[in-house]
Amino acid sequence: MWNDTAIPLAFLITFRCHGTWLHGDERGSVDLSNNVFGTPVIPSHPRWHSASEANLAYPQVFLSAEMRDSVETAIKETCHFRDRILYAINIRTNHGHVVVNAGSESPSKVLQALKANAPRHMRQRGVWREKYSPWSVRGSKRYLWNDKSVNAAVDNVLYGQGNELPNFD
């Protein structure tokens, strides 16, 4: 059944670690001009990828098990503090997925809060000592308008991201 209000039931928020998916990447990429759901991505281009790597402001960021745990805890705390319903979370080594109900709050504000609080929490735990953010500039914000889309997003976040990550720390 379709949700016929102006407020989505939830958002699927995805954010990446700095430098882990650059223009020219073999997986393709998007930019501000080419970022419409369901349309083709920018194709792979090895020289563009090399140039993107060379222009990084700081090294690529990959999250250790301790960092992932800290990010997950920070997101859960943020959702609790802001009275959001957290349906699913999966923090990987180079990105994170969250399915969250945020009421009438914009998905951009939700993404911003999640990305801001995670490094603060990592610094408090002593697993992130850098002054810069571990995240890429933007993130994906998909509106989920009905129960079917929320359930599909939750299923993908919990079970469609690959095997459970081992703890090598």
The answer on 148 and 91 residing in a single domain is yes
Rounded Cα distance between 115 and 119, Å, is 7
Domain of residue 38, residue span? 20-55
Q: Read off φ and ψ for residue 106, nearest 5 degrees.
A: -70, 150
For residue 146, the number of C-alpha atoms closer than 13 Å in the C-beta half-sphere is 5
Task: Please answer whether residues 9 and 144 qualify as being in contact, where contact means their C-beta atoms are separated by less than 8 angstroms.
Answer: yes
* pLDDT tens, position by position, 130-153: 999 999 888 889 999 999 999 999
* pLDDT tens, position by position, 8-59: 999 999 999 987 766 556 665 566 665 566 666 666 667 756 666 667 788 8
The answer on 147 and 131 residing in a single domain is yes
The answer on 104 and 33 residing in a single domain is no
The answer on 103 and 117 residing in a single domain is yes
The answer on 155 and 85 residing in a single domain is yes
Domain membership flag for residue 5: no
Provide the number of structural domains found in the chain: 2
Task: Please answer whether residues 93 and 47 qualify as being in contact, where contact means their C-beta atoms are separated by less than 8 angstroms.
Answer: no
Domain membership flag for residue 167: no
Rounded Cα distance between 55 and 36, Å, is 26
pTM score = 0.82
